[in-house]
Amino acid sequence: MKKQLYLFYLLLSNILFAQTSVEPHRPLFHFTPKTGWMNDPNGMVYYKGEYHLFYQHYPDSTVWGPMHWGHAVSKDLMRWEHLPIALFPDSIGCIFSGSAVVDVKNTSGFGKKGGESPLVAIFTYHNFEGERANRNDFQSQGIAYSLDKGRTWVKYAHNPVIKNTGKRDFRDPKVMWYEPTQQWIMTLAVANHVEFYTSKDLKNWAQTGEFGHTEGSHGGVWECPDLFQLPVDGGKTQKWVLIVNIGNGAPNGGSGGQYFIGEFDGKTFKNDNKPSDILWLDYGTDNYATVTWADAPNQKRLSLGWMSNWQYAQIVPTQTWRSAMTLPRELGLVNTHQGVRLIQKPVKEVEILRGDKNTLSKQVIASTLGLKTKGKGQEISLTFDLSKTTASDFGIELVNSKGEKVWIGYEKTTQRFFIDRTEGGKKDFHKGFAKRHYAPRLSKDNLLKLSIFIDVASVELIADDGLTAMTDIFFPNEDFNKTAIFSKNGSTFLEKCVFWQLK
């Protein structure tokens, strides 16, 4: 979209949006674009009190098209302010996924003496003409900078900074500052592996290594990588985490995210686990392109994913907009009986959404127990005692007056968590959408903890203090207005339940 046209469109859509803001399936507390199409989160960076969220955006339609970088900022990760589109397609190509950094030392030279630190965005250029002409070099890496806290962006005059030498899938640069060598490191997804590049100035890049040809899952093309270090169990030992999203082959079908734990020496990554080991970030079908914020306060590693799946993202039944992001999550590493594993929990800021609170404790649940919720946004935290449980499965049931239902819980007989959307409302838009999804349980603890975040059209299940995550979307024909704890084929013992109405 041309810039002038876009400003007119912005005005018009604001007027229209004001009139049509009551829409089915629009979430209460998850980020969505005002209008139009959204996929991957991009360029996430924290600078001077603001979390920036850019995202793959096609403003002209609710399906994927020539990509722009949409933009929003937040002070608390919960309340977002929409800003004008940050990056538009240009003569080199449209703007695919990438990252952003604060160039504190002005290594790029984009900054002015004594002025703001440049924010530098590093993204993939995708050239449709090249692709249509069946060339192999239609993706390359470009950069742009902002000297006004991300409000306006200037593309670098000598883009692209990394040309393509004939690799068809060559994209999604994630850049970080590497202290030991005082250099920038880029992790780039290239078909079935990642490549590492270094640079002193964000403009000149040299490849230093690659990883992954025969490691992890290869059910689809590798996309949207991320690389960062985290302490294990909050202690002195640090490990590197390499996130790699894959376009297909996730545990419950379609696109999903995997990760590797290992070492990074400034040049390349070494996996601590067996090449055949696959570690999944999330077992639901709706958490893709997860990457993390650069420079989040207090050394926190905060992630965000696109809450959809390439299998059906373009045909889900929303009208003026398509797709939401997951809740931002805080990542950590813990030792388990299977080795070091990633844990994730919604960020602490979720607490600002909490309204009315209710608690229950020490109860036998023999069939169902209704919770006093008012529907829509809910956070439910449950602890069950498995040693006093005879039920085959138990958990939370969402119901509306049309009789549509979603179940979230645990199957004791198979030791798996599940989210079941087979009867959750609209499903005909995609064969295979109405399904029960599973996740294996890693913990062996008799106390089983479920932390559940329910929005109008999604649920995020965080089990065993973050060891297992499942994210699923659904589209009820009417909002769910009843929530109950259920127990099937026997009883379960509820140690504790706290639930909040979310605002």
Binding positions for ligand FRU, rule: CB under 6 A: 39-40, 56, 67, 96-97, 124, 171-172, 223-224, 289
Buried b (16+ CB within 10 A) or exposed e, 467-485: bbbbbbbbbbeebbeebbb
Q: Work out how close the CB of 174 gets to ligand FRU at its nearest, in angstroms, rounded to a whole number.
A: 11
Pairing of strands 354-365, 368-370: unpaired
Residues 358 and 499: beta-carbon distance below 8 Å = yes
Q: Is 40 annotated as catalytic?
A: yes
Residues 6+ away with beta carbon under 8 Å from 411: 392, 393, 417, 418, 438
User: How many helices (H) and strands (E) would you count in the chain?
Assistant: 2, 34
Q: Work out how close the CB of 248 gets to ligand FRU at its nearest, in angstroms, rounded to a whole number.
A: 11
Residues 269 and 262: beta-carbon distance below 8 Å = yes
Q: Work out how close the CB of 172 gets to ligand FRU at its nearest, in angstroms, rounded to a whole number.
A: 5
Nearer to ligand FRU, 38 or 399 (CB): 38
Q: Work out how close the CB of 501 gets to ligand FRU at its nearest, in angstroms, rounded to a whole number.
A: 33
Q: Work out how close the CB of 220 gets to ligand FRU at its nearest, in angstroms, rounded to a whole number.
A: 10
Nearer to ligand FRU, 174 or 427 (CB): 174
Nearer to ligand FRU, 292 or 389 (CB): 292
Nearer to ligand FRU, 96 or 153 (CB): 96
Q: Work out how close the CB of 96 gets to ligand FRU at its nearest, in angstroms, rounded to a whole number.
A: 3
What is the per-residue DSSP string for 279-294? EES--SS--EEEEE-B
What is the per-residue DSSP string for 332-377? EEEEETTEEEEEEEE-GGGGGGEEEEEEEEEEEESSEEE----SSS
Nearer to ligand FRU, 88 or 110 (CB): 88
Q: Using CA atoms, how far apart are residues 278 and 189, in angstroms rounded to an integer?
A: 18
Residues 87 and 33: beta-carbon distance below 8 Å = no
Single-letter residue type at 141: Q
Q: Using CA atoms, how far apart are residues 136 and 130, in angstroms rounded to an integer?
A: 8
Q: Using CA atoms, how far apart are residues 481 and 64, in angstroms rounded to an integer?
A: 33
Element (H, E) at 172: strand 171-178
Nearer to ligand FRU, 67 or 347 (CB): 67
Burial class (CB in 10 A: 0-12, 13-18, 19+), 359: exposed
Query: Which of 40, 103, 226, 420 is an active site residue?
Result: 40
Residues tagged active-site: 40
